[in-house]
């Protein structure tokens, strides 16, 4: 699924949060979004997910879904929700459910069978490290890292063609960070899904994203080709990492 961003602008009062003339994310691409706090990463994700209203411009998703060509503006229809999975923050989680219940809820409202769900969760057993399933713990009683895992797994549960994860490495222990990198890369290769992640962790972003967009004050100031890992030096230079 291609994502076309055109003349997209969002301001909060005087502050410009996002201002992108034109940007295209190609089908099957893994794009990393980096930038300092307040650069506009989360706002851009929320605009793509139609969770906030753009002052100007549009986000379109163009491609094939269920053997049909689609070309839609995300603010005009809900169709894109069928092929998009996302986890931005805790407001995506229903915290009075257990992880099992939450996964079942997502699966059932999306028309996935119980067997499908079990198969899917089986693949993520290593990532969940036996701390989520069958625990009888409500999501609100989980640690921040485990909440993050619930969010990521539920976003991927639909096997979406577009996957959007805001700061997926936050709160995760090193083993889980490594596991999620592996899972995302594998998912991208197997399904050809378009994956967008934002992160403050340059190393992880460079490791898994062949393309990286650098945001500053709402503008994409650099579109870096990282197909052979050359973005590391450029990013370190920008962020003045010693």
Partner 1 sequence: MTNWQLYKLIRKNDELKDLRHPMFEKNRFMKFLAWFMILYYAAIMLLMGVMLPMGMRGTYNGVAAFHVLDGGLIYFIIADFWLRFMLQETPGQQAKPYALMPIRRSFLMNVYLTRAGLSLGNLFWGFFLVPFALLAVYPLLGWSGFFGWLIGWWLLFVANGYAYLFVRTLCIKHLAWIILPIIVHGGLLLAMLWPDKNMLDMPCTLLMYNFALCHLWPFLLMAAVIALLYWINYKLQMNMVYNEVAKKEEVELKHATQMNFLNRYGALGEYLKLELKMRLRNKTVRLQFLTLLGMMVLFSVLLYFTDIYDNGFMKSFICLYDYVGLGMTMLISIMCHEGNYIDGLMSRRESILQLLYAKFYFNSAVLLVPFCLLIPLMAIGKISVWMNLGYLFFTAGVLYPICFQMAVYNKETLPLNQKLASRQGNWVQQVVSIVMLFLPIAIEKLFTLLLGNPWGFIMLALLGVVGLSLHGWWLRNIYQRFMLRRYTNMDGFRASRNF
Q: Measured between alpha carbons, how far is 146 from 135 in angstroms, rounded to an integer? A: 12
- Write down the least CB distance from residue 52 to partner 1, Å: 6
Please, which residue, 116 or 216, has the CB nearer to partner 1? Answer: 116
Please, which residue, 8 or 220, has the CB nearer to partner 1? Answer: 8
Please, which residue, 156 or 206, has the CB nearer to partner 1? Answer: 156
Please, which residue, 123 or 140, has the CB nearer to partner 1? Answer: 140
**Please, which residues have CB within 8 angstroms of residue 233's CB and are 6 or more apart in sequence?**
none
- Write down the least CB distance from residue 78 to partner 1, Å: 5
- Listed residue (1, 68, 9, 27) closest to 211, CA to CA: 27
- Write down the least CB distance from residue 235 to partner 1, Å: 29
Alpha carbon 80 to chain centroid distance?
15
Please, which residue, 78 or 228, has the CB nearer to partner 1? Answer: 78
Strand partners, 197: 32, 165
- Write down the least CB distance from residue 171 to partner 1, Å: 18
3-class SS of residue 35: strand
Q: Measured between alpha carbons, how far is 240 from 111 in angstroms, rounded to an integer? A: 48
Q: Measured between alpha carbons, how far is 212 from 214 in angstroms, rounded to an integer? A: 6
The DSSP H or E segment spanning 198 is strand 194-198
- Write down the least CB distance from residue 239 to partner 1, Å: 29
Please, which residue, 110 or 232, has the CB nearer to partner 1? Answer: 110
- Check residue 82 and report its DSSP letter: G
Helix axes 99-109, 144-156, angle to 10 degrees: 20
Residues in touch with partner 1 (CB under 8 A): 49-53, 78-79, 81-82, 84, 86, 88-89, 91-98, 100-101, 104-106, 108-111, 135-138, 140-141
- Write down the least CB distance from residue 145 to partner 1, Å: 16
């Amino acid at each position: 699924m291609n994502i076309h961003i055109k003349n997209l602008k969002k301001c909060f009062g005087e502050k410009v949060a996002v201002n992108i003339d034109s940007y295209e994310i190609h089908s099957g691409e893994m794009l990393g979004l980096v930038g300092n706090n307040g650069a506009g990463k989360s706002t851009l994700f929320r605009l793509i997910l139609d969770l906030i209203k753009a002052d100007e411009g549009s986000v379109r998703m163009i491609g094939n879904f269920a053997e049909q060509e689609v070309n839609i503006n995300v603010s005009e229809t809900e169709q894109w929700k069928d092929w998009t999975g996302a986890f931005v923050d805790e407001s995506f989680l229903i915290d009075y459910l257990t992880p099992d219940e939450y996964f079942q809820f997502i699966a059932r409202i999306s028309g996935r069978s119980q067997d499908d769900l079990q198969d899917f969760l089986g693949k993520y057993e290593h990532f969940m490290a036996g701390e989520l399933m069958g625990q009888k713990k409500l999501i609100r009683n989980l640690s921040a890292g485990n909440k993050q895992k619930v969010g990521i797994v539920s976003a991927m549960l639909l096997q979406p063609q577009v996957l959007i994860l805001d700061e997926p490495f936050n709160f995760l222990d090193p083993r889980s960070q490594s596991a999620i990198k592996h899972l995302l890369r594998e998912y991208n290769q197997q399904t050809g899904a378009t994956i967008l992640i934002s992160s403050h962790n340059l190393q992880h972003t460079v490791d898994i994203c062949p393309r990286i967009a650098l945001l500053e004050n709402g503008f994409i100031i650099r579109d870096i080709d990282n197909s052979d890992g050359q973005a590391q030096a450029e990013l370190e230079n920008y962020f003045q990492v010693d």
